[in-house]
Amino acid sequence: MEDEEGAQNLTPLEHTIEAELAPAIPTEPVTAPESREAGDRSMERGHVGEAIRQYRRAVQMQSNDAEYRTTLGDAYAYADMGAKAVTQYRKAIKISPRRAAPHFSLAELLRRFGKLHAAVAEYRLAAQLNSTNAFYRYKLGDALCALGRLDEALPELEAARDLEPHNGFYHFWLGDLYGRLGRVSEAVIEMQQATIFSPVDDYYNVRLGLLYLQMGCAADAVHAFRTALRIAPENASYHCLLGDAYTRLGRHAQAKAHYRFAGRLDPYDTAYVERMRQLALDE
């Protein structure tokens, strides 16, 4: 039987899951792969306790399989049974230290616990072991950004973008980092690419519009904000931003129209009223 740590002081959720685990072994023989598949089906149905039971059986039958232990750890992490998840990840790493997945899963859990420095170390190992995985490179860069280590994050986010050049998500976050580094023209290029490859994402267009305003390109900002509003026409903030862009162009009537519309959509936000007042004073 697999050794379990933290058996005492269980949370109510853990007690519930442990209760579901009681009838662990059916009478008929089941192979480890079959138990893994049964666990996957249970997770898809939202039956976490049953999934953990099946994943544990797979581990009991093949205790030296790093993939099975990682999968069990992921299920524990999903159920907020962090200590048990960490145990499985560390055992998986001990079994197969060159496997990237348990390092990545451990990093995700450590970050959830607020242990960002330790998480970065595990993200880095995962990225080194699977350097062509764009998401691993992105997560390492994102964690480095959270630590304020922007210069270290940059090559990771650039690598993620290069590995999946048609994925707007990676262009967006690289553009975000370029903006934080003050490299606005490069940020604009990446945000443009993000809107091209993710044309239905309103926020990407809004961020592009804000960069245009930062560069003094109000007409381009108008186009970006109008695109965002075609995707999300009921967003009051977007109407307000479009009003700001029109104001910079001196098109006050159109600015007022969007400020008024924003005020109707969100009548409790005084910022829209203040913009109308300031525009009237300017005129």
- Quote the number of domains for the chain: 1
The answer to whether residue 82 is domain-embedded is: yes
- Domain residue limits at 61: 1-95
- 194 domain-assigned: no
Exposure on the CB side of residue 224, measured as CA atoms within 13 A: 26
Rounded CA-CA distance 109/119 in Å is 8
Name 219's Cβ contacts closer than 8 Å, sequence gap at least 6. 249
Contact residues for 148 (Cβ-Cβ < 8 A; gap 6+): none
Phi-psi region of 235 (alpha: psi -120 to 50; beta: other; left: phi over 0): beta
Whole-number Å distance between alpha carbons of 215 and 111: 35
Residue 169 lies in a domain: no
Residues 6+ apart with CB under 8 A from 2: 56, 59, 60, 63
- H or E stretch at 77: helix 66-78
Q: Is residue 62 part of a domain?
A: yes
Instruction: Give the domain CATH number at 5.
Output: 1.25.40.10
pLDDT, position 235: 94
Q: Helix 150-163 to helix 134-146 angle, to the nearest 10 degrees?
A: 160
Residue 10 lies in a domain: yes
Burial (Cβ within 10 Å: 0-12, 13-18, ≥19) of residue 96: middle
Task: Give the phi and the psi of residue 199 in degrees, each rounded to 5.
Answer: -70, -15
Predicted pLDDT of residue 167: 98
Residue 55 lies in a domain: yes
Distance CA 201, CA 170 (A): 13
254 lies in a domain? no
Residue 2, pLDDT score:
46
Is 89 within a domain? Answer: yes
pLDDT at 147: 97
User: What is the rounded CA–CA span in Å between residue 21 and residue 38?
Assistant: 14
Is 244:275 a contact under the CB 8 Å cutoff? yes
Please state the three-class secondary structure of 200-237 as a single string.
CCHHHHHHHHHHHHHHCCHHHHHHHHHHHHHHCCCCHH
Cβ-based neighbours of 237, under 8 Å, separated by 6 or more: 262, 266
Of 140, 147, 131, nearest to 98 by C-alpha is 131
What is the mean pLDDT, run by run of 10 residues, along the chain of 283 residues? 53 69 52 90 92 91 92 94 94 94 96 96 98 98 98 98 98 98 97 97 98 97 98 94 95 92 83 69 60
Spatial distance between the Cα atoms of 44 and 38, rounded to a whole number of angstroms = 10
Contact 143, 123 (CB under 8 A): yes
pLDDT of residue 185: 96
